[in-house]
Amino acid sequence: MEFSFAKQFLILALNPDKGRVTIDSIHFRYTLTGAFLMDYLDRGEISVSNKRIIPSFRKSTDPVHTLIGDRITASSKQKRISYWVGRLTNKSRFMINNLALTLQQEGILTIEQKKFLGIFPYKRYWFINKGFRADLIESVRKILIHGRQPEKREMMLLGLIESSRSYKLLSRERGEARSMRKKNLELLKTDVVGAEINQAIREVQAAVAASVMAATMVTHGSH
């Protein structure tokens, strides 16, 4: 089963023992939006020219696809990927809920509805089969630890891992996260995936970095 980038990223981000995402909220939400855009780029539903998105979305019954496709297509001007990552992330809860529901329908996750103090609703996501996540982590480790040459789609996933700074999810020993990031940054400088995808990866990373910085400034400014 070949998973979309959005599904792969959510599977990686979920802690199988805690049933929740363990990457910090800003890195996770903005990178997830980037993952959806990477999927549409991979499927030829968007292309990048002069750093701007050119949409050619196909009809779909998927609600996230419809939301993103309608927003981008309705725009009077062609905008950069970083712009759309920033704009669309306000719908991240909708994206996460739909993505998790799809993974539940595919028999990967089960969604548990809970309430904090018996009042505030929240969800826990449990893997029915932890093997999908273990295999995904192992395939990334073979690239970043053992030096296997990545394929195009794997490089796109590595771009999302860098955007979300989620190396700790992949590491098993002290110091591994740092060495994996060093190796990944070297790989991301190569031309394995071509100029268009390299540009998209950089734009997603720039959007995540800008959003993290803005949120940090707001937090510090409120003290």
> Quick one: pLDDT band at residue 192, thresholds 50, 70, 90?
low
The answer to whether the beta carbons of residues 155 and 187 sit under 8 Å apart is yes
Closest C-alpha to 43, from 33, 35, 51? 35
Measured distance between the N- and C-terminal CA atoms of the chain, rounded to whole angstroms: 48
pLDDT at 221 over 60: no
Task: Return d(Cα 91, Cα 25) in angstroms, integer.
Answer: 13
pLDDT at 219 over 70: no
Fold that domain 5-221 belongs to in CATH: yeast vps74-n-term truncation variant fold (1.10.3630)
**Secondary structure letter of residue 21 according to DSSP:** E
Token pair belonging to 125 = 């996501």
Tens digits of residue pLDDT in 119-158: 888 899 999 988 899 999 999 999 999 999 998 889 999 9
Q: Which pLDDT does position 218 carry in this prediction?
A: 61
pTM assigned to the model: 0.91
Continuous segment of H or E residues that includes residue 127 = strand 120-127
Q: Which pLDDT does position 166 carry in this prediction?
A: 94
Task: Return d(Cα 89, Cα 33) in angstroms, integer.
Answer: 6
Q: Which pLDDT does position 197 carry in this prediction?
A: 76
The answer to whether the beta carbons of residues 58 and 45 sit under 8 Å apart is yes
The domain locations on the chain are 5-221
Query: Three-state SS for 120?
Result: strand
Q: What number of other Cβ atoms are within 10 A of residue 189's Cβ?
A: 9
Q: Which pLDDT does position 31 carry in this prediction?
A: 93
